[in-house]
Structure 1
């Protein structure tokens, strides 16, 4: 019997529930001992493991097994926490929102149900990773590209449901979703939108169906367990040109962002255009200890040496062009003219031997890899949580966010490691707060400063688009217009669909009635 029990449940009652779970999925796929459950902890948490220790984990293999698990959970009032591959590190990984939940591990549901080469889509289950889908396309010689997040081991379905983004022209993952199958808390199975029509011929081609479009309700919500998802894939283009532009001055961020915006709005640059700060770029190739033995952030002299040694800038812009070669050449002349006006611009279309260039060039053509995880080597025993506010793609907003975060974290002894990614009309700012996970004091400082920059950013109108388990309530509380009208609406929907409050309680700060106090 595990040391952690679901809230309000006795050891005897939980033992009976575990027996029910074993009957539902088989004894082999119910994990309740300490050793097995250690793989469901968050290795990057700034808080103690006790804050997010599951009581058990259950790994179903089918919709029918999920329905059987839900029946047991409803009977005993056990909160479930669904994860797909459990690789959402920096945001919680496989750990549940609170201790005592049972993790619903969907990694065994890993079928690629369909790939349609003619119409450019795939239908996948939760356990399908970017690597899985990429290999399938290659093995079957299908001329389609995936759009992947930086770590290729993540779930295609899971990243999309968490509003993740990538680096090809199909980088807005939720925009590329079309149709899903969902199991509700009461066990009802729903095919959404056009898929609700029996024998539908366009269920992965037309997103909206008839009536209200409800697919978005099942993203970042826990309102249902998504067991199948349609996702559009990019036809392989006849030409591809990745490029990098470096800028030596920190102050270039403003003019660079201003130059990028019209290129993005007019689709001259069609993919996720990314401005990467010096240390993010450097940390894929070197460690901090190789350049600096002191404590705190790197001094300016060391930063200059890094730039010279690695031939990189204070800011490093990545994007790509796609299509017939003549079209690429015309677009390239426009890009060079626009970005060349920013002080100090240096252009590259190839950088042999540069690890950072190689992994970025792969991401922008949909080749999954794990290179970005080498950033954890920047410091010994590195871990990270990510702060991800949204803004308009303006130079003023970029500079304001950059200094809001950089000045605060450097004052607390941390390095600023971040990037700005411009999507269709928004700007993601991804700040990676890297800390020593073996140092309790540093973990505590990281936790404190993270909470402070959440509050500071919200006060200036910058809200996060996703966050770590520990900060979900704080983030939700910042969306407080009209006396938290949005949260109250979310709560009403949750109570209607899940009156027992068993489905991912507290996901993104939305709690069921029985746990709100």
Structure 2
């Protein structure tokens, strides 16, 4: 990508590119790419200052010889050194070499090379090669969790194992069982398009943006917005390459000849699937997933609430309705700042001052929108035939209107450009692209996700809201907050949007994040997911009984990965070679991602 032309190249499309966007959404992708392109003040290509990143514990010549050996066995075209200028790209053309939304210097969390296996034997070959040479690997599915580090490795100089580029097959879609079996490079867009092509009456549960990997999102405990919104809860069956190169299938997949792999997740004996989610214990090469049968109709509804403190009563109203499945889907309670930012307009069009946008300014602009003045916006969807939907929605309306000033917005009053229509598509299992629009809020837009979990109870949510608001005010950051309501739990997804071209704003965002993590933990709330540079800090807030959970994870890591080659440091889990050598980054933060080298392998690198 280059800044030498006025217009950005057209985004890739699916199926021409496995990671592309469907033709039906191309106009949105072109629009948003142009917005970002025209609001960019930093170069899209960053020259390298430090040269090729060599992983700790291995010399440059030794590393290059190892890469040459891998090229001979995997194929030269499938092994690429990362020694060129860093290209940040954007959502549909994201880098697989570093974190485009950098907090530290971009060369801190950077890979040494990228390899592209084409099948399971290739993955096993790469893993055995890494054990032989003691080179850390960092596997990605598609690398699009951009608010959490993207494709960047935690250990500088790791070799990225990009599973998505060549392992992107939809292996099975069963319309009778409503299940599928996919490889890591299958996006929500691709799965949806294939189902539509075949004419099946089944839905894909999709997150806000559909370009990410179905497997990657599920392993990260991601959520979507239909009644099947708990993606990990909807999976059934994993195929995993272990850190030694051995191959494993979980659940019914361990029984030769079984055709129940995607229908019954438990199999017999201990359920091992969980240790491969948010971990560095294996590389998932296949996954089964439950799909949702067409419910025979759907209707998205929108309510607004006027005051900040309405949140307390609203959440307590939502909880019993959600547990009883009157509120059926993973719904959203969004702060009104997002309502204007998702229009794609720049912050400067609303407010040019410093610090968070004042509430009176926000309300003056909201007054001009179709939904009017408000603080909280609730998006939900009801499913089934019309008479079933009406019965449930009448109950919801009666309960929501107990809050003074609550207002139901008539969808027919909303223009087709309003975000409501995108929300309605997503809640009906159709991946969309609108959510990316808020990245144009500031120049060089980047974001981090602060994502603690609480019970769906008003007092808990109010505490989290106040923690986030206090720290955002302290560091002059606009509050982009959504409460995502699960069945009994609630995720506060706080998107910290910032100018990644400003070292000062990056540092302010890092301080804000680290303080919010500690504030939330002291109040009893833990993050369910975080950026790779905060994973040590978050993991160590889960420290009950003298860090019993981390000690258990470290035992598993050392047993399964004796050479410590697979994604060291991921989710705060460090192998013995790296442990207690200064790699961990605590609440105080620092400017470097690296520690003080590594210990020799317990098995001298020979498996």
Residue 506 of structure 1 corresponds to which residue in structure 2? 569
2:394 to 322, 327, 333: 333
Matches within 5 A, 1:464-475: 464-475=527-538
TM-score, structure 1 length as denominator?
Answer: 0.98
**1:311 has 2:370 as partner:** yes
**Match of 2:588?**
none
Quick check: 111-120 or 192-201, which moved more? 192-201
**Aligned counterpart, 2:300:** 242
C-alpha separation in 1, matches of 2:410 and 2:383 = 14
Tell me which residue corresponds to 2:76.
27
Conserved in 1, the CA contact under 8 Å of 2:241 and 2:284? yes
Q: Are the counterparts in 2 of residues 242 and 349 from structure 1 also a CA contact under 8 Å? A: no
* 1:254–1:398 Cα contact (<8 Å) kept: yes
Pairwise CA distance, 1:2: 5.8
1:8 to 43, 46, 57: 57
CA distance in 2 between partners of 1:114 and 1:48 (Å):
42
Corresponding residue SS for 2:402: coil
1:275-321 Cα shifts (integer Å, max 9, x gaps): 00011121111321111111111112211112201233210001111
Structure 1, gaps ≥5 residues long = none
- For 1:70 and 1:425, locate their aligned partners in 2 and report how far apart those are by CA, in whole Å: 40
Map 1:69-108 onto structure 2 (within 5 A).
69-107=126-164, 108=166
Is this contact kept in 2: 1:264–1:270, CA < 8 A?
yes
Q: 2:169 aligns to what? A: 111
Distance 2:64 2:325 in 1: 58
Q: How do 1:193-208 residues align onto structure 2 when only pairs under 5 Å count?
A: 193-208=251-266
TM-score by length of 2: 0.84
Residue in structure 2 matching 1:187, options 220, 242, 245: 245
| Counterpart among 336, 356, 359 of residue 419 in structure 2 | 356
Q: In structure 2, what is the Cα distance between the partners aligned to 1:389 and 1:367? A: 27
> CA contact under 8 A between 1:241 and 1:349: conserved in structure 2?
no
Counterpart-to-counterpart distance in 2, 1:331 and 1:284: 29
Q: Which has the higher helix share?
A: 1
Distance of aligned partners of 1:122 and 1:2 in 2 relative to their CA distance in 1, 3 Å threshold: farther
- Give 3-state SS (helix, strand or coil) of 2:147's partner: coil
- 1:222: how far off? 1.5
Q: Which residue, out of 290, 304, 308, partners 2:349?
A: 290
Structure 2 matches for 1:386-425, cutoff 5 A? Answer: 386-425=449-488
User: Alignment partner for residue 255 of structure 1, among 289, 308, 313?
Assistant: 313
Following the alignment from structure 1 to structure 2, what is the Cα–Cα distance between the partners of residues 267 and 379?
39
Q: How many residues align?
A: 517
Q: For 1:244 and 1:113, locate their aligned partners in 2 and report how far apart those are by CA, in whole Å.
A: 38
For each residue in 1:413-452, what CA deviation from the matched residue of structure 2 results, as whole angstroms up to 9, or x when unmatched? 1111100011011000000111111111111111111101
Q: Rate the CA distance shift 1:35–1:151 in 2: closer, same or farther, 3 A.
A: farther
SS at match of 1:317: strand
1:479 maps to which of 542, 546, 555: 542
CA distance in 2 between counterparts of 1:31 and 1:476 reads 33
Question: Contact 1:47/1:447 (CA < 8 Å) preserved in 2?
Answer: no
* 2:34 aligned residue: none
Structure 1 contact 112–123 (Cα < 8 Å) conserved: yes
Deviations 1:451-490 (A, max 9, x none): 0110111000010001001000000110111110000000
Query: Given that residues 55 and 155 in structure 2 are in contact (C-alpha distance below 8 angstroms), is that contact kept between their aligned partners in structure 1?
Result: no
What is the rounded CA distance, in whole Å, between the counterparts of 1:398 and 1:51 in structure 2? Answer: 35
Q: Distance in 2 between matches of 1:135 and 1:116?
A: 15
Among residues 543, 552, 557, which one is paired with 1:489 in the alignment? Answer: 552
Structure-2 residue corresponding to 1:321: 382
- Give the structure 2 partner of residue 138 of structure 1: 196
1:46 maps onto 2:103 in alignment: yes
Structure 2 residue runs of 5 or longer lacking an equivalent are: 1-49, 88-94, 581-607
Corresponding residue for 2:38? Answer: none
C-alpha distance in 2 between matches for 1:349 and 1:220: 41
Give the deviation of 1:251 after TM superposition. 1.7
User: Is the Cα contact below 8 Å between 1:376 and 1:434 reproduced in 2?
Assistant: yes
Larger CA deviation: 375-384 vs 426-435: 375-384
